[in-house]
Structure 1
Amino acid sequence: MLRIAELVSSELRTREVLVRDEEPPSDYGKKPEERTADELVEYGVINLDKPAGPSSHEVVAWIKRLTGLEKVAHAGTLDPKVTGVLPVLLNRSVKVLPYLLAEDKEYVGVMRLHGDVPEEEVRKVVSLFKGPVYQRPPLRSAVKRALRIRRIYDVKVLEVSGRDVLFWMWCEAGTYVRKFCHDVGILLEVGAHMQELRRVRSGSLKEDSSVTLQDVVDAFVFWRDEKDESLLRRVIISVERAVEHLPRVVVRDGAVDAIAHGAALAVPGVLRVDSGIKAGDTVAIFTKKEELVAVGKALMRSEQMVSAKKGIAVKPEAVLMKPGVYPSLWRAR
């Protein structure tokens, strides 16, 4: 029977949770905050405050060399001069990279005009860029220079001082802010360029909880040399926090190991789901203890997941949990 269990609220989303069934607590698995230091590193993400100077790839190379980790990757390239939030994924968390790359972003920047323009006119022209915009990647780009459409969800002028314009932007992943500044200059008929830029949010990761490269180095030194985990636990967050923007599907203990082996999630294995899920949406599969099992594509709507008697609810695309953490009940059937 379809029931509304609770209301999940955050700054990014508000979703009702639809319940299919309930299951008593078990001794299997563990909550993300109860992981050992080694497990935290294995399933961790660093919300890094990238400094000006190095490229995103250089930052990742430094972290990999300094920590000795086998797998390190970043989600969302920042130019060398750009600072701010750079999600860095460690070891098994690298599997969610494609889903973090697609997250929306927020920036604060300074645009320098090449001529004098009344503030009212600047604000008027900047407001015109809210919505879909055509952009072509710059010559020095890692992607094909094909004309494409990106969406600017919101953009505001915060302050104008002479020819310097302080602005805030909320945009789709892959939006070139430098191109935005150039295009504003064209419409104002004086020219303009991006003087400074800082990313203040990437998906669910914000600058107020970011850490520095020095914090990362110190955390690993204290942990490995002095057996002090305190800084490590502040520097590394669980991968679960990095995918908070994705709608959730919570599953039975008996379904977890099958998914960990790559099996699709059938509706009998579903306990509860976020409302608003449509077929084709990307969703995160969680245990009752809020461990991320996998990320995949929904094959039916939320309401169908909690009411259907049979069928496949989610097809996993990236499996994070290792087999054997939960019992292999599916093998006994």
Structure 2
Amino acid sequence: MAAAVAERLVRSRGSTSPDHGAKPAKRPVDEYVRRGAVVLDKPEGPSSHQVAAWVRDIFDVDKAGHAGTLDPNVTGLLPIGLADATKGLEPLKAQDKAYVGVIELHDDVPRNRIEEALSTFTGDVYQRPPKRSAVKRQLRVRRIDDFDAIEIDDRRILARVDCEGGTYIRKLAHDVGTYLGVGAHLDELRRTRVGHITEDRAVTLHDVKDAWEEFKQTGRDDWLREAVIPFERLLDHLPRITVRDTAVDAVCHGAPLAIPGVLDIERTISAGDQVVLMTLKGEAVALAEAEKTAVETIMQETGVVARPHRQLMDEGTYPQHWGEDEAEDA
């Protein structure tokens, strides 16, 4: 699940006080859980909502949410945010997904025609959400990056799909059958990737339950910190801006981040990009929209760099520094 290290432009050097906040991996257990996420290997049978509720109840927190619904009979990756971590799920929902599934054709088709059909459905495809979908049933375009056969056994196709978030794989299988003129349905499906998160990091419900019970009974938290990850790891795909300690609380109150409050910024950031504002300790402060490029941020002395639209850190985590100009409009 490790993200590539992006090149950063340094505007200023800074330091951080150990008296405020904490490195995400070093948070006290109660805070670690409330600001934690579980990359769950969802079993077949229950709904995504039910599975998230089970995880919520295991940790006895007030709420839990998931990043992208899986149908009850679908298995695989279901990232779940606990309590305060639900605030950080939204950016992950729109990320590309990967699946492995079994498509059952309704009649015999030569292998070369099957491979040609799968290739035809790469690129942009039109889909209308199924009737039981919670979204409006409007025709929409979804991007299929890769759609190929891992194995073909008579009428059964073990296929791999890399696609844009919001793609209906069941509809894709049906459309392949229509294209081939024989009909088809999706027999099995497993999600193997959500954005930068891959299934090698996934844990089961049993893992989660056992890790929490071990902590409660022994006080040992090493297994717990394997089963639960800091929610910041769900945001590793977003470009980031590192914020001075003295600017953090103002951003938590919704103030825009101005240039003097920036320590460093990823080189690739452009105006209009969604970014995550981070402390020097690696804590997520807010999701924001960039108003300047990285180069402008480094070269200029005044102006707003980013405007928060989703606060991720509680007000008061860092001390107030009202009247200073690190996080106010230019």
Question: TM-score of the superposition, structure 1-length normalised?
Answer: 0.93
Pair 1:250 & 2:242 matched: yes
Contact 2:35 2:83 in 1 (8 A): yes
Contact 1:42 1:93 in 2 (8 A): yes
Q: Match of 2:39?
A: 47
Q: Which amino acid is the alignment partner of residue 277 of structure 1? A: I
Q: Given the alignment, which residue of 7, 10, 18 partners 2:9?
A: 18
* Distance in 2, Cα, partners of 1:314 & 1:270: 10
* Distance in 1, Cα, partners of 2:27 & 2:186: 43
* Distance in 1, Cα, partners of 2:191 & 2:11: 40
- SS of residue paired to 2:322: helix
Q: Which amino acid is the alignment partner of residue 9 of structure 2? A: L
**Structure 1 segment 207-222 matched on structure 2, within 5 A:** 207-222=199-214
Q: Which amino acid is the alignment partner of residue 18 of structure 1? A: L
* Distance in 2, Cα, partners of 1:200 & 1:98: 19
Q: Match of 1:67?
A: 59
Q: Which amino acid is the alignment partner of residue 46 of structure 1? A: V
Pair 1:111 & 2:110 matched: no
Contact 1:106 1:170 in 2 (8 A): yes
The offset of 1:226, in angstroms, is 3.3
Contact 1:152 1:171 in 2 (8 A): yes
Q: Match of 1:281?
A: 273
Q: Given the alignment, which residue of 298, 306, 311 partners 1:306?
A: 298
Q: Given the alignment, which residue of 316, 320, 326 partners 1:328?
A: 320
The offset of 1:288, in angstroms, is 1.2
* Distance in 2, Cα, partners of 1:204 & 1:321: 23
The offset of 1:172, in angstroms, is 0.9
The offset of 1:86, in angstroms, is 0.1
Q: Which amino acid is the alignment partner of residue 232 of structure 1? A: L
For structure 2, which runs of at least 5 residues remain unmatched after alignment? 326-330
For structure 1, which runs of at least 5 residues remain unmatched after alignment? 1-9
**Structure 1 segment 130-209 matched on structure 2, within 5 A:** 130-209=122-201
The answer to which of 12-21 and 179-188 deviates more is 12-21
Q: Match of 1:31?
A: 23
* Distance in 1, Cα, partners of 2:61 & 2:323: 34
Residues 213-245 of structure 1, C-alpha deviation per residue, up to 9 Å, x if partnerless? 111122222223432322211110001111101
Residues 53-90 of structure 1, C-alpha deviation per residue, up to 9 Å, x if partnerless? 00101111222233321011111000011000001001
Q: Match of 1:7?
A: none
The answer to which of 68-77 and 58-67 deviates more is 58-67
The offset of 1:268, in angstroms, is 1.2
Q: Which amino acid is the alignment partner of residue 274 of structure 1? A: E
The offset of 1:13, in angstroms, is 5.2
* Distance in 2, Cα, partners of 1:226 & 1:11: 30
* Distance in 2, Cα, partners of 1:45 & 1:328: 28
The offset of 1:311, in angstroms, is 1.3
What is the RMSD of the two structures over their aligned residues, measured on CA atoms? Answer: 1.7
Contact 2:34 2:61 in 1 (8 A): no
Contact 1:204 1:243 in 2 (8 A): no
* Distance in 2, Cα, partners of 1:196 & 1:249: 41
Identity %: 47
The offset of 1:146, in angstroms, is 0.8
Q: Evaluate the alpha carbon distance shift between residue 111 and residue 56 of structure 1 in structure 2; reply closer, same or farther with a 3 A threshold.
A: same
* Distance in 2, Cα, partners of 1:252 & 1:52: 46
Q: Which amino acid is the alignment partner of residue 221 of structure 1? A: E
- SS of residue paired to 1:309: coil
Pair 1:129 & 2:92 matched: no
Q: Match of 1:4?
A: none
The answer to which of 12-21 and 68-77 deviates more is 12-21
Question: TM-score of the superposition, structure 2-length normalised?
Answer: 0.93
Contact 2:47 2:72 in 1 (8 A): yes
* Distance in 2, Cα, partners of 1:142 & 1:41: 30
* Distance in 2, Cα, partners of 1:163 & 1:286: 51
Q: Match of 2:223?
A: 231
Q: Which amino acid is the alignment partner of residue 13 of structure 2? A: E
Q: Which amino acid is the alignment partner of residue 254 of structure 2? A: G
* Distance in 1, Cα, partners of 2:208 & 2:304: 42
* Distance in 1, Cα, partners of 2:55 & 2:26: 25
